Amino acid sequence: MFTLVPSAIAARTVRWRLPLVFVLMLAAVAVFAPFIAPFSPADLPDNYDVVKNFPPSAAHPFGTDGYGRDVLSRVIYGSRISLTLAFAAVSLALLLGTCYGAVAGLLGGAVDRWLMRFLDVALSIPRLLLLLAVTAFWGALPLSALIILLGTTGWFDVARLVRGEVQALVRRDFILAAQATGVPRARLLGRHLVPHLVPLLVVSATLNVAGTIALEAGLSYLGLGVQPPIASWGNIIKEGAGVMEAQWWLAFFPGLAMVTAVLACNALGDALRDLFAMDQVHA
Amino acid sequence: MRGIVARLTSRALQSVLVIFAAASLAFLMLHLAPGDPISGIADASSVPRELRAQWDAQQGYDQPIAVQYTRWIADVARGRLGQSTSHQRPAIDVLGDRLPHTLLLMSLALGASVLLGAAIGAWQGARAGRRPDRAVTTASLLLYSIPEFWFALALLYVFAYRVHILPATGMFDAAMYDSMTPWQQIIDRARHLVLPWLSLTVMGTAVFARYQRATMSDVMREPFVRTARAKGLSEAAVRRQAWRAAILPIVTLAGLSFPALLTGAVFVERVFAWPGMGSALLDAIDKRDYHLVSACVIIGSAMTALGSLLADIVRAFVDPRLRVS
């Protein structure tokens, strides 16, 4: 069994590099979209009747859609929306979950029990059904509302993880030592506690970004997420799903982009979890 | 034994609390939403004021909010979830027709995912870190990262549009079904079930395999496994012992997987026009059928609560450690 150890360590230190490269590449595509995209994502070309529904070719590697727009350009611009939305929603969820989990973990006792009971209940209401209900009652939501909605329904598992980690941390010797030497409470939190939460939050964030990209795409596929004319991977797939039999490329390429992003984030999250030995985090 | 009873009682109360919370949430949304169930049927401005007042009185909308809330909770407790405006019948009856179709899909997918996932994961966990394990881990990570709706679209494209060996939509062949023999009818239903079932099962299998691999490889490092090896048991017998300890968390995970399964079912039902609860919900959203939407949220939450309660009950019976402590 001992021979396994060095190779396991080697595997641990290398595995996060490839997914990280992919994540950074996708982020670069999103940031530099105007310089990379060969065509406009939204404007109809003048001769749109002639160039519509082209299969993939050298000029349009991902083909064109029913309005003659270049699918590659739409997928590139769509990455901006899909990635920004996931990143913003997960940031909000991390903020809410960390505050809630830290309060529960630090106060303990009856407060902790009630906060945890509330979490159990909140986790039992299926998130997708809740999101669908909100869109049913209030209609299609603008991007900012979608971010807030995904953020405020996505922090429950973060809160539970943070609470567990805080509970474990406050019993550690360095925290007791800091308390014993009279470190002020604010400094105790900021300098001693929060930095130790960073690995957990990074792993949880990476896995949550993967899930949120998929969720947003799913909502947009149902026509209840990002609304046209803004292109997101999900709503391009929605357009393509109806005409899949004749124009497969319209649903295929945005889906491929989406799977690449989800896979890269999941692989990075898995690798970082192993690296930091955070076995408690599950996707 | 008393510990188990106390624990299960607390879990059962928790389920009631979940349904109460979902019902309250539904009430909140029904009241905060712009418009009301009536504006879903008729253009509000064209309705005479007296008729409107009569409707409000009939539905109880003229009562104070606290009275309406109490009445709503009491109604939900009795299984009354309001009137579906698009179907013109109680929402609970609509779901009563649709839910069995979703449950059929979910139970077949869950059963297959647990069995396949546990087998694959246990196989991997017993040889964790070696090449075959790493290859399967990569494959399951890939499958796990393909959102169900897109995977379902891909299956639809390949098997229904390109090679034409399986039907694209519905639960049975609407045109031919009545003229088939009973045996043909069973075959027809099975053929319609394949693609939706596969869409849900592939993702589920990857989830359970990932989890089972982790628990199995942990158990393989436990002292009792070393003891079993040391006393000269064959590797197969050692793995069998380890697996019996590693399978228990899967029971819990199966119970907790209801929300994910339900989510998958909503997408899969849309892709394959499967007439279940997910399709009913999406139709209700299109038609602004508020009570049917809120009924779906309540029933979905109840199913989730029931799933984790069921897992707890099963664990209480199969895990001897819970009986002692």
Instruction: Give the separation between CA B205 and CA B142, rounded to whole angstroms.
Output: 12
Report yes or no: B304 and B262 within 8 Å, Cβ to Cβ. yes
B303 three-class SS: helix
Tokens at A103, concatenated: 């309060």
Q: What is the pLDDT of residue A3?
A: 37
| Better-predicted residue by pLDDT, B39 or B251 | B251
Report yes or no: B149 and B274 within 8 Å, Cβ to Cβ. no
Whether residues A136 and B293 touch (CB distance < 8 A) is answered with yes
Chain A residue whose CA is closest to B148: A218
Interchain contact B236–A (C-beta under 8 A): no
Q: Which residue among B157, B267, B296 places its CB closest to the CB of A218?
A: B267
Q: What is the pLDDT of residue B43?
A: 59
Chain B residue whose CA is closest to A8: B129
| Better-predicted residue by pLDDT, A62 or A101 | A101
- Which residues in chain B touch residue A119, judged by CB atoms under 8 angstroms apart? none
Q: What is the pLDDT of residue A1?
A: 33
Distance, in angstroms, between A213 CA and closest chain B CA? 9
- Which residues in chain B touch residue A244, judged by CB atoms under 8 angstroms apart? 153, 156-157, 161
Stretch B154-167: mean pLDDT, rounded?
88
Chain B residue whose CA is closest to A244: B157
CA angle at residue A257 from A199 to A282, to 5 degrees? 30
Instruction: Give the separation between CA B277 and CA B272, rounded to whole angstroms.
Output: 13
Beta bridge partners of B89: B84
Scored b (16 or more CB within 10 A) or e, B306-325 reads bbbbbbbbebbeebeebeee
Q: What is the pLDDT of residue B324?
A: 64
Q: Which of A12, A16, A119, A137 to mutate to test the interface with B (most CBs of B within 10 A)?
A: A137
**Which residues have C-beta within 8 Å of that of residue B72, sequence separation ≥ 6?**
B23, B27
Instruction: Give the separation between CA B256 and CA B305, rounded to whole angstroms.
Output: 9
Chain B residue whose CA is closest to A263: B145
**Half-sphere exposure of residue B4: CA atoms within 13 angstroms, side-chain side:** 14
Torsion over CA: B3, B5, B6, B10 (sign): positive
Residue B45 has pLDDT above 70, yes or no: no
User: Chain-wide mean pLDDT for chain B?
Assistant: 86
Q: What is the pLDDT of residue B302?
A: 92
Q: Which residue among A4, A128, A237 places its CB closest to the CB of B266?
A: A128
- Which residue type is seen at B104? L
- For residue B68, how far is the Cα from the chain centroid? 31
- Which residue type is seen at B49? R
Residues in chain B: 325
Distance, in angstroms, between B181 CA and closest chain A CA? 32
B88 three-class SS: coil
A 191-250 residues inside an 8 A Cβ radius of B: 210, 214, 217-218, 221-222, 224, 237, 241, 244-245, 248
CA angle at residue A201 from A217 to A134, to 5 degrees? 35
B210-262 residue pLDDT tens: 999 989 988 888 899 899 889 988 888 888 888 888 888 888 889 888 889 99
In which band, very low, low, confident or very high, does the pLDDT at B68 lie, cut at 50, 70 and 90?
A: confident
Whether residues B147 and A137 touch (CB distance < 8 A) is answered with no
B43 three-class SS: coil
Interchain contact A14–B (C-beta under 8 A): no
Interchain contact B154–A (C-beta under 8 A): yes
Interchain contact A124–B (C-beta under 8 A): yes
Interchain contact A2–B (C-beta under 8 A): no
B14: nearest Cα among B314, B310, B316: B310
The DSSP call for residue B147 is -
The secondary structure element, H or E, covering residue B90 is strand B89-90
Tokens at B129, concatenated: 């870190």
Residue A283 has pLDDT above 70, yes or no: no
- Which residue type is seen at B267? F
Chain A residue whose CA is closest to B142: A263
- Which residue type is seen at B288? R
In which band, very low, low, confident or very high, does the pLDDT at B71 lie, cut at 50, 70 and 90?
A: confident
The DSSP call for residue B166 is S
Distance, in angstroms, between A241 CA and closest chain B CA? 7
Stretch A199-223: mean pLDDT, rounded?
93
Report yes or no: A225 and A110 within 8 Å, Cβ to Cβ. no
Report yes or no: B311 and B7 within 8 Å, Cβ to Cβ. no
Instruction: Give the separation between CA B58 and CA A108, rounded to whole angstroms.
Output: 48
A144-186 residue pLDDT tens: 999 999 999 999 999 999 999 998 888 888 888 888 888 888 8
In which band, very low, low, confident or very high, does the pLDDT at A9 lie, cut at 50, 70 and 90?
A: very low
Whether residues B17 and A218 touch (CB distance < 8 A) is answered with no
Distance, in angstroms, between B53 CA and closest chain A CA? 23
Task: Please give the ipTM for the structure prediction.
Answer: 0.88
Q: Which residue among B17, B145, B304 places its CB closest to the CB of A266?
A: B145
Stretch B286-314: mean pLDDT, rounded?
89
Chain B residue whose CA is closest to A269: B141
In which band, very low, low, confident or very high, does the pLDDT at A65 lie, cut at 50, 70 and 90?
A: confident
Residue B19 dihedral angles phi and psi, to the nearest 5°: -65, -40
Q: Which single residue is written with the structure tokens 């995209």?
A: A37
Instruction: Give the separation between CA A225 and CA A258, rounded to whole angstroms.
Output: 15
CA angle at residue A138 from A132 to A143, to 5 degrees? 80
Report yes or no: B105 and B276 within 8 Å, Cβ to Cβ. yes
Interchain contact B21–A (C-beta under 8 A): yes
In which band, very low, low, confident or very high, does the pLDDT at A7 lie, cut at 50, 70 and 90?
A: very low
Q: Which of A125, A153, A160, A266 to mutate to test the interface with B (most CBs of B within 10 A)?
A: A125
SS (H, E, C) chain A: CCCHHHHHHHHHHHCCHHHHHHHHHHHHHHHCHHHHCCCCCCCCCCCHHHHCCCCCCCCCCCCECCCCCEHHHHHHHHHHHHHHHHHHHHHHHHHHHHHHHHHHHHHCHHHHHHHHHHHHHHHHCCHHHHHHHHHHHHCCCCHHHHHHHHHHCCCHHHHHHHHHHHHHHCCCHHHHHHHHCCCCHHHHHHHHHHHHHHHHHHHHHHHHHHHHHHHHHHHHHCCCCCCCCCCCHHHHHHHHHHCCCCCCHHHHHHHHHHHHHHHHHHHHHHHHHHHHCCCCCCC
Tokens at B26, concatenated: 């539904």
> What's the predicted TM-score (pTM) here?
0.89
Instruction: Give the separation between CA A141 and CA A153, rounded to whole angstroms.
Output: 15
| Better-predicted residue by pLDDT, A42 or A198 | A198
Report yes or no: B91 and B291 within 8 Å, Cβ to Cβ. yes
A213: nearest Cα among B146, B272, B279, B142: B146
- Which residues in chain A touch residue B284, judged by CB atoms under 8 angstroms apart? 136
Q: What is the pLDDT of residue A10?
A: 47
